[in-house]
Every structure is written in C-alpha cells, then in structure tokens.
Amino acid sequence: METTPAIRIRDLVKRYAPAGSKSGEGKLALGGVSFDVPQGQIFGLLGPNGAGKSTLINTLAGLVMKTSGTVEIWGFDIDREPRNAKASIGIVPQEIVFDPFFTPIEVLDIQAGLYGVPAAARRSLELLQSVHLADKANAYARSLSGGMKRRLLIAKAMVHTPPILVLDEPTAGVDVELRRLLWELVVDLNHHGVTIVLTTHYLEEAEQLCDRIAIINHGRLITDQPTRDLVGMMREKIVVLTLDRPIIAAPQHQDFVKSVVSSERELRVTYNKDRMNAGDVLALVQSLGYGIVDVSTDEADLEDVFVKLTSAPAGAFG
C-alpha cells in the first residue's frame, strides 16, 4: 500500500505583483514546481540564492500566499485544512530571533501555548535535553551563544510534536564543531521518525545527510532524485599520475575526455567511468614507457553536479 507523502506539492506558482499593480504581473518566484517529500526521509532542497527556496518554505509555513497550485502537508491541504496542515509541520527559520528577557524554558512553554498544547502535555524540558540545553533552561535567551540559539530554535519548532521539520539553513555561519553537533541532532530526530526538509548552501552537508535531493533554479524544479543517483550523474573521473621522468607530450586515447600535463612529471587524465577504469589508464601510460611513481584519483561530488545543473541560464517562464 502506497504511503502518503509527508509533503505533496503540485504545480506551485507564486508571482509577486509589483506595488500598486492589479494586473498580477510581476516577479515569478515559483513557476509550477511539483515534487513529493517521502515520509521518514531527510530531504534536501537546494538552489542558488534567489532560486525560490525561501518562497517555497514560507508557503509551507503559511507566511506566503501561493498564486496557484496545491500543497498538502501530512495529507492536509493548506487551503482547505490550514489548521491541521500547520500542526503537522515545524519551521526552523534562518534568522535567530528571541525575546532576550525570556528563558529557554519560557520560550518553549509560550510557543506550546500558542499551538494549544495543554500545560500537562508540554515537553519543554525534554526538548531542551534533546538539544543539549537542559543546563540553560533558566538562563536568559540573550546569554546563549549563537549555536545554542540555533538549537533552541529547533526545540521551539518541535513543541507541538510535528511529524515534519523544515530546517532553513540551520548551520549557516556556525563553526565546524557546531555544524557536526547539529548534523547529529538532525539524524537523531530523523531516527525518531521525524521527516526532515533541509535547505543548505553546504553541499557536503546535503551529500552526507540527505536521502533525496531536489534542486530548484530560477523558480523551476530541475531535478529530484535520490542523492546517490544524483552524484552518479557525473560519470567523469580524474586520475593524477606522477611519473618517473619528464613528460614530453600528454598521451591521447579515444576514451579520454581530457589528458593534460599539469607539471613536469604530473599527468592528469579525465575519463568516462562507463567506458574505462583507472587500471586501463595506468596500463596505457606504462605501455608508452613511463614508470608510475604515485597515483591519486578525484571523483565528482554533489558540488560538481550542483554547478552543472544550475549553470544553465534562466529560461522563459511559460
């Protein structure tokens, strides 16, 4: 039996009309985006600045009114059942905004009250423990470090126990150690059954964490694939050879994408993994009389795929 997607988006359009205009013409932020976020996954939503990610997230949060299309959150249409849809999702924004005179425990209690969670059912201390802030429960929010505030934002988004959590650039501007801590927190939440939607500019982060990735650019969806398949789109591989003597000319072969002499004794060969392997490259170079002193390889990663897919110019929106 097919499982209902955690989020279902179909033909989502958002056009911002210019001030004072009644024509509806203006900037097209989303031009007919459609995709599903499967239940139980960590789903990456990537795209360059201005691609439409924030507009899409703000639509999910109920902060932006879509122009057309349908959006369902945990099976609830955001137009027909907005209360249930909002109760099914927690949003962790990019901006860190707190009242400096409330303590973390008060921040969570107040947020739970806004969602109608009865006092007896609130999990404020439990949530603070889950984000490693229990010892700061009664400290003023203004005394927390930037990383602590980000973790408090995650707890705040979970006060009503939503099955879906959207993290908008959760590790922007934090150091490497804190980034790793936040990664562990995201994975732990996911292991406890929470579906995660993650936007990030750190492609290493998306590659490490996400089961599936959608990329949008110029308001259009350009790909939506399992992370492994997406990385596998780049079939080219580079092998770097250090040879035992100076190279007179870079050897050529019909299956080489490129072969260049990068220094006196170093050769860089780019080849298609579907047509040959590194052993074939080494054998060819050795057959020309060169001895190989050292070998290293360089495979494509998500950054290469991202650059390739988002480098196309904006098309005309129909």
Per the CB < 8 A criterion, the answer to whether 182 and 208 are in contact is: no
Can you tell me the distance from the alpha carbon of 153 to that of 126, in angstroms, rounded to the nearest whole number?
Answer: 14
The number of residues in the chain equals 318
Is residue 22 very low, low, confident or very high in pLDDT (cuts 50, 70, 90)? low
40, pLDDT greater than 60: yes
Q: pTM, whole model, 2 decimals? A: 0.79
Of residues 289 and 75, more confidently modeled: 75
Per the CB < 8 A criterion, the answer to whether 164 and 86 are in contact is: no
Segment 291-307 mean pLDDT: 84
Output the pLDDT for position 10: 97
Q: Are strands 236-243 and 292-299 parallel, antiparallel or unpaired?
A: antiparallel
Can you tell me the distance from the alpha carbon of 162 to that of 139, in angstroms, rounded to the nearest whole number?
Answer: 26
Q: Is the CATH number of domain 235-299 3.90.1640.30?
A: no
Segment 231-255 mean pLDDT: 86
Is residue 80 very low, low, confident or very high in pLDDT (cuts 50, 70, 90)? very high
Q: What ranges do the domains of the chain cover?
A: 235-299
Per DSSP, helices labelled H in the chain are 53-61, 82-87, 104-114, 124-130, 146-157, 176-191, 203-209, 227-232, 278-287, 302-310
| Arithmetic mean of pLDDT over the chain | 89
Is residue 108 very low, low, confident or very high in pLDDT (cuts 50, 70, 90)? very high
Segment 246-265 mean pLDDT: 88
Segment 70-80 mean pLDDT: 97
Give DSSP secondary structure letters for 253-275: -TTEEEEEEEETTEEEEEEETTT
Lowest mean pLDDT segment, chosen from 56-65, 75-84, 162-171, 297-306:
297-306
Give DSSP secondary structure letters for 96-160: ----TTS-HHHHHHHHHHHTT--GGG--HHHHHHHTT-GGGTTS-GGGS-HHHHHHHHHHHHTTT
Is residue 25 very low, low, confident or very high in pLDDT (cuts 50, 70, 90)? low
Contacts of 60 (CB under 8 A, 6+ apart): 7, 71, 73, 78, 89, 91, 166
Output the pLDDT for position 318: 35
Q: pLDDT tens digits, residue range 121-156? A: 999 999 999 899 999 999 988 888 888 898 999 999
Q: How many CB atoms lie within 10 A of CB 40?
A: 16
Per the CB < 8 A criterion, the answer to whether 105 and 124 are in contact is: yes
Output the pLDDT for position 315: 44
